[in-house]
Structure 1
Amino acid sequence: MNEMLALFIATLNVTVPVFAMVFLGLVLKRIGWIDDTFIGTASTLVFKGTMPALVFLSIVRADLDHALRPGMLVFFACATLITFLLLWGWAIWRIPRAERGVIVQGAFRGNCGIVGLALAANLYGDLGLSMGGILMGVVILSYNILSVVVLSSYLEDGRTSWRAIAHGIITNPLILSVLAALPFAGFGWQLPVWLETSGDYFARMTLPLALICIGGTLSMRSLREGRTLSLQASLMKMISVPLIATGAAVLMGFRGTELGVLFFYFASPTAAASFVMVRAMGGNDRLAANIIAISTLMAAVTVTAGIFILKLSGLL
């Protein structure tokens, strides 16, 4: 019993700091210490500046023999595609046609770049950041392409420009930071000490600032207004997808750090980017916002439970 309690406390030590920052953002927004202008500016700073710096430095410091796991990258891409198709089949069976695209995207597109990466860093340190940063390239490609496919299939008023999507992927700051960092890690190049130290200061803002912004964008009104569809999508995102994908990873032989990073990415709540894409394509953005709010609040429980079970079973 004492060992189980110690394991549970160790699990909370991984998840609570991450989700505490999310709920801190929610509180700060409610008491007026941060507002939508701050959140918009800070989110831009994170996406275009601090997060690419964090990913770049984590890979530069990494030993690619340990951080670059081709099998994990291939598995994540395949598992994402399979769960996406399963969710689409479920939506055809259970969801009204007009809302299928929004529901499917909300049920498979996780917030890996912030929540998943923060959890990986909290549990595995620089190795988790390096592995998670490299995996982000696969995440960005697969999530954007599959989201456009399913939304375009049902949003009649949407206008999809594949050239614009491709340009957005190619110029994504996270992908560029990964590509820029790989030669440094591969050839053992060193940054000047002053530059690495300054970059470190800049990059350290990423996770707390990003998590506070997530909390600031949560709407309790959205949670109260959540109806059956948004709850169904959230349950799929936070329970069904992690169970299926992580179970498959276990059967494929993934263990330890690889399994942990995969679980964090599969179990991440719905990404805020899903709202942006739905809104841009003329879909039900209120439904998309509800899914983000509900799945993010659920994540504090489901991610903690998942890590505890995996640790208890000796898989992590």
Structure 2
Amino acid sequence: MSSFLFSVNAVLPVFLLILTGLVLRRLALIDEGFINVSSKLVFKVALPALIFSKISRVDFLSLLNGKEIYTIFFLVSGGFFLIFFLSGFFIKNGAERGAFVQGAFRSNIAIVGLAIIINVFGDSGAARTAISLVLIFPLYNIYAVMALVIPLQKENAGTIKMILKAIVTNPLIIAVIVSLPFSLLSIDTGKVFETFTGYLSNLTLPLALIGVGGSLNFSTFSEKFSKALASALIKLVFYPVLVVIILLAAGIRGESLGVIFIMLGSPSAVSSYVMAKAMGSDSDLAAGIIVLTTLGSVLTLGLGIFLMKSYGLI
């Protein structure tokens, strides 16, 4: 019973906020404009402040785990190439294949994943996640472009430049880099600045999760449901199960196991819809995958945390 309550307390508050966003959108209390502005505010201001506040107050070197970093690189890269290769056998439409692959491997780590990790593991889990994001975000950008461009057989000369720009200018990566000297040198930011970043940090998860709920669109299911469901099952079931098996075989347990499972088992990133639309892929399919994975991850993440807690793995 204690393991069940632990998993419920970790997952349910996050998805209640997503549900709140969905209800507020249906009641017309928030609209597309609010969602767009709040998303920019979260991505460029509040979330970097959260990452800074978490990393700057912990011992970075104690959390930096080479084995963990290599494992994450292997899992993200291996997952992408496996899904990309297998999808070619049953999805012949290039636009659909790109959206399918991106939805099946790209996680909403910075919002949904981070919120659950904080609930489960607290500040150390949040700091560990922030450090991992430095590796994962560039990989996600590179593989997402590959997934969307290659099936359409496009020659996009600006692709490499676009990826590099996205990495260098990513506010979350910048926040990690800026926070490192404070962590490594144990620099005290002072009470005023600590309170200031705390206020900004407190905006992050409620505002972001309400935005996720408000952006869910159920109108795309009729024609795209079967492919969206297949991608969602890979994202929420087959890929996370494979991840856990590999981690256990590698001898990874405890907080590292839980953090990586939640990161890679989180629902598809909302940004996958934006990229699919911008690069000529199937944005309706991308939207359907986001809806299914966001709703389905209530069960899969909760069940995964419950089972690992029950067997003493985390």
TM over 0.5: yes
Post-superposition offset of 1:7: 1.6
Contact 1:230 1:291 in 2 (8 A): yes
In the aligned structure 2, how far is the partner of 1:44 from the partner of 1:288?
20
Q: Give the aligned partner of residue 146 of structure 2.
A: 149
Offset from partner CA, 1:96-133 (integer Å, 9 cap, x none): 24222221111000101111111111111111110111
Which of 47, 50, 59 is the aligned partner of 2:46? Answer: 50
Which of 93, 97, 102 is the aligned partner of 1:100? Answer: 97
Q: Secondary structure at the residue paired with 1:204?
A: helix
In the aligned structure 2, how far is the partner of 1:213 from the partner of 1:96?
33
One-letter amino acid of the counterpart of residue 67, structure 2: G
Percent of aligned positions that are identical = 37
Gaps of 5+ in 1: none
Q: Give the aligned partner of residue 65 of structure 1.
A: 61
1:236 maps to 2:248 = no
1:310 maps to 2:294 = no
Post-superposition offset of 1:155: 2.3
Q: Give the alignment of 1:13-24 within 5 angstroms.
A: 13-24=9-20
In the aligned structure 2, how far is the partner of 1:149 from the partner of 1:141?
12
1:135 maps to 2:132 = yes
Gaps of 5+ in 2: none
One-letter amino acid of the counterpart of residue 188, structure 1: S
Post-superposition offset of 1:220: 2.4
Post-superposition offset of 1:158: 7.3
Post-superposition offset of 1:45: 0.2
Q: Give the aligned partner of residue 262 of structure 1.
A: 260
TM-score by length of structure 1 reads 0.95
Which of 5, 8, 18 is the aligned partner of 2:4? Answer: 8
- How many equivalent pairs are there? 312
1:25 maps to 2:10 = no
Q: Give the aligned partner of residue 273 of structure 2.
A: 275
Contact 2:141 2:166 in 1 (8 A): no
Q: Secondary structure at the residue paired with 1:220?
A: coil
Post-superposition offset of 1:193: 1.3
1:297 maps to 2:291 = no
Q: Secondary structure at the residue paired with 1:188?
A: coil
In the aligned structure 1, how far is the partner of 2:227 from the partner of 2:276?
16
In the aligned structure 2, how far is the partner of 1:187 from the partner of 1:52?
20
| Distance change (3 Å), C-alpha of 1:223 and 1:8 | farther
1:80 maps to 2:76 = yes
Q: Give the aligned partner of residue 172 of structure 2.
A: 174
Q: Name which of structure 1's ranges 90-99 and 242-251 shifts more when overlaid on structure 2.
A: 90-99
Q: Secondary structure at the residue paired with 2:306?
A: helix
In the aligned structure 2, how far is the partner of 1:286 from the partner of 1:194?
46
In the aligned structure 2, how far is the partner of 1:21 from the partner of 1:69?
32
Contact 1:69 1:131 in 2 (8 A): no
Q: Give the aligned partner of residue 120 of structure 1.
A: 117
Q: Give the alignment of 1:191-230 within 5 angstroms.
A: 191-223=189-221, 226-230=224-228
One-letter amino acid of the counterpart of residue 276, structure 2: V
Post-superposition offset of 1:228: 1.1
In the aligned structure 2, how far is the partner of 1:222 from the partner of 1:302?
23
Q: Give the aligned partner of residue 111 of structure 1.
A: 108
Offset from partner CA, 1:191-221 (integer Å, 9 cap, x none): 0210111110111110111111000000122
Q: Secondary structure at the residue paired with 2:34?
A: helix
Q: Secondary structure at the residue paired with 1:190?
A: coil
One-letter amino acid of the counterpart of residue 286, structure 2: A
In the aligned structure 1, how far is the partner of 2:313 from the partner of 2:178?
33
Contact 1:256 1:315 in 2 (8 A): yes
One-letter amino acid of the counterpart of residue 85, structure 1: F
Calculate the aligned-residue CA RMSD, in Å. 1.3
Post-superposition offset of 1:161: 2.4
